[in-house]
Structure 1
Amino acid sequence: MPAYEVEHVCPLTDDQKDLLASAITKIHSQQFSAPKLFVNVRITDISGQRTYVAGKQYKSNRIFAYVRHGPSRTQSDYDVVSKALTQAWEEIVPGTELRLVMFYGAIVAGMEAGFSIPQAGDDKQWIEENMEAFKKKAEEGDEHFRELVEEYVR
């Protein structure tokens, strides 16, 4: 559902990338009740690209998040996530700065893994409505859906 784009100029190990992806997934799913399966993260080294701030070349680490925005998500919610992402970055990539965390409430519709995505705030109802289909995919051997079913059926 959300798509997080991590752009980094400092070197990151594969372990750091894995930890960042896990942290982003956990932070987003906890704050917004989105299933972890549908939190997408891409991490890109942009150290070779020319990027600018205030019209001058400036290299920085940053996270752009494309999310489903709606009345159930407040400025405070995004602030909490921004702070948590910054803290996770500082723990995983010490001695470097995460200069920017920016949210784009641009996702109005879409389909992922064969399912139409719900509006922001409707995740719980959507999970309930689709749980039988999720269970079927899990029973057919889809590991991602097995984990999703385990996440919600306790």
Structure 2
Amino acid sequence: MPIYTCTAAQGSLTSEVKALLAAEITRIHVDINHVPPAYVNVVFSELPADSVFAGGQPATPLILTGWVRRGHPQEEATRLALELSSAIVRISGMDESRTMVVLQDGPARSAVEGGRILPEPGEEKEWLRRTGAA
């Protein structure tokens, strides 16, 4: 259901770090939003070092953006962002000042996964039961 994109300069993340980040992003999302792990998508986008800037200067940040379904309580969305931020710092070893987490939300009805319109938050169990994925 959600999709997270980790954007970094090429070579700044090892394969092991990527795997650890993907696992921890999935775990955090599942714990907070109560969806099956198989529905959490994590992709990595690596850009050439000469294509990444912060403050107009070459930089090597780690930026995590995510799309989640609108309707989760704000305190859960804030907790999600904070836990994701802590995880990327802990796992990547990057200084917190070089990291950013941005979550964007949209209506569930605006997204389709596996040919099915996504359920509203709180309706996952029924949706999974109807689709035979439970």
- For normalisation by structure 1, the TM-score amounts to 0.72
How do 1:98-117 and structure 2 match up within 5 A? 98-108=98-108, 109-117=110-118
> Aligned equivalents of 2:85 and 2:52: distance in 1?
23
Matched-pair contact (CA < 8 Å) for 1:16–1:93:
yes
Structure 1 CA distance, aligned partners of 2:106 and 2:69?
Answer: 6
Q: Let me know the Cα RMSD of the aligned residues.
A: 2.1
What runs of 5+ residues in structure 2 fail to find an aligned partner?
Answer: none
Q: Structure 1 residues 58 and 120, CA, compared in 2 at 3 Å: closer, same or farther?
A: farther
Percent sequence identity is 26
More strand by share: 2
Matches within 5 A, 1:19-98: 19-46=20-47, 47-53=49-55, 56-57=56-57, 59=59, 60-70=61-71, 73-97=72-96, 98=98
In 2 relative to 1, CA 118–48 (structure 1 residues): closer, same or farther, beyond 3 Å? farther
Kindly indicate whether the alpha-carbon contact (under 8 Å) linking 2:81 and 2:101 is maintained by their aligned counterparts in 1: yes
CA distance in 2, matches of 1:18, 1:43: 10
* CA distance in 2 between partners of 1:12 and 1:5 (Å): 14
TM-score by length of 2: 0.82
Shift of 1:107: 4.8
> How many equivalent residue pairs?
129
Answer yes or no: is the 8 Å Cα contact 2:21–2:87 preserved in 1: yes
Does the CA contact (< 8 Å) of 1:33 and 1:124 recur in 2? no
Runs of at least 4 residues of structure 1 off by over 6 A? none
User: CA separation in 2, counterparts of 1:17 and 1:48?
Assistant: 21
Work out whether residues 50 and 58 of structure 2, in 8 Å CA contact, stay in contact via their aligned partners in 1: no
Deviation digits for residues 26-46 of structure 1, max 9, x if unmatched?
A: 111110112211111111123
Deviations along 1:38-81, whole A, 9 cap, x unmatched?
1111111233314444xx346321111111111xx122112211
Following TM superposition, by how much is the alpha carbon of 1:95 offset from its aligned partner in structure 2, in angstroms? 4.1
